[in-house]
């Protein structure tokens, strides 16, 4: 896997600059690179070889603080095809799903690749991540984002284009997967194939946007009798303003993003003694199913035109990173 994001700045590194008035810009360092603004020109050579966290001046004497972006900075600013998992939820997903170094992890869908980056980091170089995505353009955005952040495509990461229901049984042997993370509109449609792929004791975790999805997937998991009783949570993180005597919660916060629901795969034939009840309503009629459209659950869909723009944007960033690092020619461009 990819090099350590520390030490003095090198050609090919992404650097986040905080300039005059706190304005942020992100650059990829090149020998001949320059950042032109109304406040003058900053040559990349002023940064190359300097320690992370340095302050450098441009041609007009304006100072910039230079830091490598943390993963949370990168995912919040990278091009998006689909809505991303926010850092607060990603952290909680890693904890509740117990993603460990060396784990074999399945995720679907891959969307913009935000969660993929967290999973790759947690599973580490000895782990393996299999990411499934049914829309090829989203898979392109995710691949480009991962390559931009890591500088290369990790060898232990496969992106499979297809619906998880068909693609998972064709990709992973039964009982061979340690952890499965589902971030999609209708995760209940995938629970049966997930149950086959998971190793006994393995964890399935679903990230859903609405309480109705949470209820439906929890009841479905419970109704299979193949998992422990599902647990659920939501994560609210409230920032604080801490300055002198003005110590108080921030006025604004990201309130709702989604819910997590997770359960562990039982051994074949096992019936845990403490599970005495069954779901009162684990099946739904056709009318209920018809309600589950992206619009009905408030999922804003990106237009095809905008999506193609995001793919090009993500690929340009990846090409820039590759060229700056002095590796091979630009990758294919989606028109």
- Positions touching ligand SAM (CB under 6 A) are 82-85, 108-109, 111-115, 132-135, 138, 163-165, 183-185, 190
Considering the complex, what minimum distance in angstroms separates the CB of residue 108 from ligand SAM? 4
Q: CA–CA separation, 38 vs 55, rounded Å?
A: 19
Kindly tell me which of 13 and 140 has the beta carbon lying closer to ligand SAM.
140
CB 75 within 8 A of CB 121: no
Considering the complex, what minimum distance in angstroms separates the CB of residue 289 from ligand SAM? 15
DSSP state for residue 202 in the 8-state scheme: E
Q: CA–CA separation, 82 vs 98, rounded Å?
A: 25
Assigned token pair, 279 = 């779901």
What DSSP string runs through 103-126?
-EEEEE--TTSHHHHHHHHHH-TT
Considering the complex, what minimum distance in angstroms separates the CB of residue 18 from ligand SAM? 26
Considering the complex, what minimum distance in angstroms separates the CB of residue 271 from ligand SAM? 29
Residues with Cβ within 8 Å of 195's Cβ and at least 6 positions away in sequence, in order, are 204, 224, 226, 227, 265
Kindly tell me which of 11 and 71 has the beta carbon lying closer to ligand SAM.
71
Considering the complex, what minimum distance in angstroms separates the CB of residue 8 from ligand SAM? 31
Kindly tell me which of 18 and 212 has the beta carbon lying closer to ligand SAM.
212
Kindly tell me which of 42 and 142 has the beta carbon lying closer to ligand SAM.
142
Q: CA–CA separation, 135 vs 307, rounded Å?
A: 11
Rg, the chain, Cα only: 22
Backbone torsions φ then ψ of 285, nearest 5 degrees: -80, 170
305 Ramachandran zone, left/alpha/beta (phi>0; psi -120 to 50): alpha
Assigned token pair, 24 = 């942020």
Kindly tell me which of 183 and 219 has the beta carbon lying closer to ligand SAM.
183
Kindly tell me which of 15 and 318 has the beta carbon lying closer to ligand SAM.
318
DSSP state for residue 216 in the 8-state scheme: H
Considering the complex, what minimum distance in angstroms separates the CB of residue 82 from ligand SAM? 4
Considering the complex, what minimum distance in angstroms separates the CB of residue 330 from ligand SAM? 23
Through-space distance between the first and last CA atoms of the chain, rounded to whole angstroms: 30
Kindly tell me which of 190 and 218 has the beta carbon lying closer to ligand SAM.
190
Considering the complex, what minimum distance in angstroms separates the CB of residue 91 from ligand SAM? 13
What DSSP string runs through 222-239?
HHHTSBPPPEEEE-----
Considering the complex, what minimum distance in angstroms separates the CB of residue 118 from ligand SAM? 8
What DSSP string runs through 130-153?
EEEES-HHHHHHHHHHHHHHHSS-
Kindly tell me which of 43 and 135 has the beta carbon lying closer to ligand SAM.
135
What DSSP string runs through 176-196?
-EEEEEEESS-GGGGHHHHHH
Kindly tell me which of 17 and 117 has the beta carbon lying closer to ligand SAM.
117
């Amino acid at each position: 896997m990819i090099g350590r994001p520390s030490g003095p700045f090198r050609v090919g590194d992404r650097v986040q600059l905080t300039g005059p008035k706190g304005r942020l810009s992100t650059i990829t360092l090149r020998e001949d690179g320059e950042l032109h603004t109304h406040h003058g020109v900053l040559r990349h050579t002023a940064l190359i070889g300097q320690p992370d966290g340095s302050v450098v001046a441009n041609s007009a004497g304006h100072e910039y603080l230079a830091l490598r972006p943390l993963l949370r900075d990168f995912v919040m600013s990278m091009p998006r095809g689909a809505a991303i998992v926010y850092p607060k939820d990603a952290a909680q997903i890693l904890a509740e799903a117990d993603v460990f170094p060396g784990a074999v992890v399945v995720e679907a869908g891959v969307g913009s690749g935000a969660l993929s980056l967290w999973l790759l980091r947690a599973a580490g170089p000895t782990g393996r991540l299999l990411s499934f995505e049914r829309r090829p353009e989203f898979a392109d955005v995710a691949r480009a984002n991962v390559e931009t952040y890591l500088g290369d495509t990790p060898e232990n990461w496969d992106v499979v284009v297809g619906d998880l229901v068909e693609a998972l049984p064709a990709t992973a042997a039964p009982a061979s997967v340690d952890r499965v993370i589902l971030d999609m509109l209708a995760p209940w449609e995938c629970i049966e194939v997930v149950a086959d792929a998971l190793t006994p004791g393995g964890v399935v975790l679903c990230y859903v946007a609405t309480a109705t999805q949470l209820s439906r997937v929890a009841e479905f998991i419970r109704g299979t009798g193949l998992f422990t009783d599902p647990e659920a949570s939501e994560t609210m993180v409230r920032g604080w303003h801490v300055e002198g005597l003005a110590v108080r919660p921030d006025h604004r916060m990201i309130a709702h993003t989604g819910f997590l629901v997770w359960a562990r795969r039982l051994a074949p034939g096992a019936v845990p003694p403490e599970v005495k009840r069954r779901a009162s309503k684990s099946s739904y009629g056709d009318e209920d199913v018809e309600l589950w459209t992206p619009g009905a659950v408030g999922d804003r869909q990106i237009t095809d035109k905008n999506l193609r723009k995001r793919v090009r944007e993500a690929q340009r960033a990846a090409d820039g990173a590759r060229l700056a690092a002095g590796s091979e020619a630009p990758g294919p461009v989606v028109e």
